[in-house]
């Protein structure tokens, strides 16, 4: 089944110093043409661009923890299910903060271009990707917060545990007797519960 690409796409970066070569290669890899992509070179420029173009996908590039605080402002203007953050470095605590602000999925620039493209495709199909370091961090947050633990089902906790052990995705699917899209949807539900 071919993936329908949401257009237009807006890429928001916190400043013009943030390099976009790898991100541009990733969206080119997915078949986006240059005329489908609009760039906002900082947060202030993003608001009028979002209002004018009503994008179907926003990629927000986060360079450091300070950039997370702009997520609510961007989300306030943008009501689609496709608000995805791209992290320069995969600090689990920063990703967790972004999830609490309600992002739908995330990518890490350290991944290869095909890995980033696959993560975006998963998100566009309604799922989400989860790195082992974030799974470990989430399990620790759940362990420390009794109320948070009550929010998750046994299968969600089991999936977090398997991912945190860095098991191959196919092994996790086999152990949990799930199809790949079911596991990716479980991850998306975990993210939704974190932001609730």
CA–CA separation, 40 and 49 (whole Å):
7
Per residue in 121-138, pLDDT tens? Answer: 998 888 899 999 999 999
Within 101-153, where are the H helices?
113-124, 132-144, 146-149
Residue 130 in contact with residue 154, Cβ under 8 Å?
Answer: no
Per residue in 5-40, pLDDT tens? Answer: 777 899 998 776 778 889 999 999 888 888 889 999
pTM over 0.95: no
**Listed residue (68, 4, 56, 10) closest to 30, CA to CA:** 4
**130 half-sphere exposure, CB direction, 13 A CA radius:** 34
pLDDT attached to residue 1: 41
**29 half-sphere exposure, CB direction, 13 A CA radius:** 16
pLDDT attached to residue 15: 73
Beta bridge partners of 86: 61, 107
Chain-wide mean pLDDT for the chain?
89
Domains present along the chain, CATH in parentheses: 9-124 (3.40.50.2300), 132-195 (no CATH)
């Amino acid at each position: 089944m071919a993936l329908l690409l949401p257009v237009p796409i807006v890429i928001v970066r916190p400043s013009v110093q943030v390099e976009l070569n790898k991100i541009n290669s990733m969206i080119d890899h997915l078949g986006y043409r240059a005329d489908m992509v609009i760039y906002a070179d900082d947060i202030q420029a993003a608001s009028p661009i979002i209002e004018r173009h009503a994008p179907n996908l926003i990629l927000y590039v986060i360079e450091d923890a300070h950039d997370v605080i702009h997520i609510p402002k961007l989300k306030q203007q943008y009501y689609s299910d496709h608000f995805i953050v791209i992290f320069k470095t995969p600090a689990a605590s920063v990703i967790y903060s972004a999830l609490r602000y309600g992002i739908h999925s995330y990518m890490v620039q350290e991944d290869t271009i095909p890995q980033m493209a696959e993560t975006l495709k998963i998100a566009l199909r309604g799922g989400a990707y989860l790195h082992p370091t974030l799974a470990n961090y989430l399990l620790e947050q759940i362990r420390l917060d009794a109320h948070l633990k009550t929010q998750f089902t046994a299968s969600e906790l089991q999936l977090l545990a398997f991912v945190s052990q860095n098991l191959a995705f196919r092994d996790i699917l086999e152990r949990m007797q799930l199809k790949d899209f079911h596991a990716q949807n479980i991850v998306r539900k975990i993210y939704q519960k974190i932001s609730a």
